[in-house]
Structure 1
């Protein structure tokens, strides 16, 4: 049996450099959010076809077979399915300015909602009140522009919003991966129509 040892970490900077090199045209947080939303909602394009499923059109060479692109897919899936709830939105490092991290979280939420839409799960099933409220709150964050006065309270507020997003995504993933009535998952339901 062959073991696939996947790197356990991918940084925002690593992904950003790859995006720039491949001229994908989205930010690192947006891309991670989009893929996470797509997977969270049952998107099943696979490690090589997910860029097409997310309607990405990179202009550079090397998209197919790029190790960072493949690694991103496997890490997203691994984090969402982790029993220890290790999922984290991919954002700039904590040493980066608060405004940059806050803007990246807004961008991540926009991408996440777009990925959910592209997976089509919410069109094939009704969501619980809790899941619907989480999606509305993520939409509010995605439409926000945070103001910072440089206080420690701003840092604490961003950490609180980030934790809400993290837990909300895990709750949505759990609900959207539950079988629909009759044992049909959201992803397979799309294929039946």
Structure 2
């Protein structure tokens, strides 16, 4: 029996937690950082913000708080054999500029925490190496103020690419490592 993945907490609830903790990043960037940490092999521990943001003063999120839910859902989604992995991004009704900025923030968060978790010389396939380079380009991108239907379609494609890239990197760094460990 297939159990559907749990849903990510709302962007607003994560944003409220970020404000409460006085963190200097967006909800999308925080989710990207969590996902980068997990994709790079970082531990799925309850005190993940302190590890991912390299700030020992950050406490452990309360059980079932939005940040704890964010971790639980990310772990479940990376484990989903049906590739049911979602990015924490604004609703499709938000402007193109807001959505693209959030996607670029997600990529910045992912890259920083991925590098922290995986270390200097990760064992990556050529596809993952290319995906990581593409994520770096997206992380450096700037949103445009306006766009047309073509730009909207391109953003949807980029979101899908980012989603698949994160899964690919997780596969190389976590699943392949687990497979190698079972063989030894």
TM-score of the superposition, structure 1-length normalised?
0.82
Determine the structure 1 residue equivalent to 2:166: 169
The alpha-carbon distance between structure 1 residues 182 and 106, as it changes in their structure 2 partners (threshold 3 A), is closer
Find out whether 1:93 has 2:111 as its counterpart: no
Distance 1:156 1:91 in 2: 16
Distance 2:48 2:35 in 1: 11
Give 1:96-135 correspondences, 5 Å limit.
96-119=94-117, 121-135=118-132
Structure 1: runs of 5 or more not aligned: 1-5, 185-193
Bigger mean CA deviation after superposition, 132-141 or 164-173: 164-173
Pairs aligned (count) = 176
Q: CA deviation at 1:57?
A: 4.3
Distance 2:179 2:77 in 1: 27
Find out whether 1:144 has 2:141 as its counterpart: yes
Q: CA deviation at 1:100?
A: 0.1
Q: CA deviation at 1:8?
A: 2.7
Q: CA contact under 8 A between 1:113 and 1:139: conserved in structure 2?
A: yes
Which runs of structure 1 show a deviation greater than 6 angstroms over 4 or more consecutive aligned residues? none
Determine the structure 2 residue equivalent to 1:41: 40
Q: CA contact under 8 A between 2:90 and 2:99: conserved in structure 1?
A: yes
Question: Which has the higher Rg, Structure 1 or Structure 2?
Answer: 1
Q: CA deviation at 1:25?
A: 1.8
Q: CA deviation at 1:148?
A: 4.9
Q: CA deviation at 1:90?
A: 0.6
Distance 1:130 1:79 in 2: 21
Q: CA deviation at 1:147?
A: 2.5
Q: CA contact under 8 A between 1:22 and 1:58: conserved in structure 2?
A: no
